[in-house]
């Protein structure tokens, strides 16, 4: 019998099996706690699904649950190293806050400008009435 066939029989009888890059249910762990805004974490498409790198683990949705890989696949390891070396992306919330602050400041300037125009108009009318009284 060929050596490869003997290996197959030996592994099959011991209850062991090998997978060529495929992962089984035993390779995943159901997550007890996942951050609320998973979509803001670095993501990558792996095996046809979007996975998110959170605290050095790759999470993804499996039905109604979040799971992570018990052992990080080599492709995801390389991706994690790349992500960790890359410069940090700007925080969208910080950018949104800055934009909101800029709009508020602009609004306050507009309100102040309008108030000044109204005050000048009131002063102009006052002067006009004063001038009318003087000429009477």
**pLDDT of the residue at 74:** 93
Spell out the domain ranges in the chain: 18-85, 90-136
23: pLDDT confidence band, cut at 50, 70 and 90? Answer: low
Q: How many CB atoms lie under 10 A from the CB of residue 41?
A: 15
The pLDDT tens digits of the residues spanning 45-64 come to 999 999 999 988 999 999 88
75: pLDDT confidence band, cut at 50, 70 and 90? Answer: very high
Distance from CA of residue 61 to its chain's centroid? 16
Mean pLDDT of 99-115: 88
Cβ contacts of residue 61 below 8 Å, gap of 6+? 49
pLDDT at 72 over 60: yes
State phi, psi for 66 to the nearest 5 degrees.
-100, 135
- Rounded-to-integer distance, Cα 98 and Cα 76, Å: 34
Q: What percent of the chain has pLDDT over 70?
A: 79
pLDDT at 16 over 80: no
């Amino acid at each position: 019998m060929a050596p490869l066939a003997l290996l197959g029989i030996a592994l099959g009888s011991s209850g062991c099996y090998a997978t060529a890059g495929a992962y089984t249910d035993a390779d995943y762990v159901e997550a007890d706690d996942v951050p609320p805004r998973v979509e803001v974490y670095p993501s990558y498409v792996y095996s046809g699904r979007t996975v998110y790198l959170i605290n050095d683990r790759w999470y993804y949705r499996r039905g109604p649950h979040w799971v992570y890989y018990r052992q990080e696949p080599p492709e995801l390891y390389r991706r994690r190293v790349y992500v960790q070396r890359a410069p940090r992306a700007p925080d969208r919330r910080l950018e949104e806050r800055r934009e909101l602050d800029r709009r508020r400041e602009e609004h306050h300037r507009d309100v102040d400008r309008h108030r000044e125009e109204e005050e000048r108009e009131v002063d102009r009318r006052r002067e006009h009435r004063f001038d009318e009284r003087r000429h009477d």
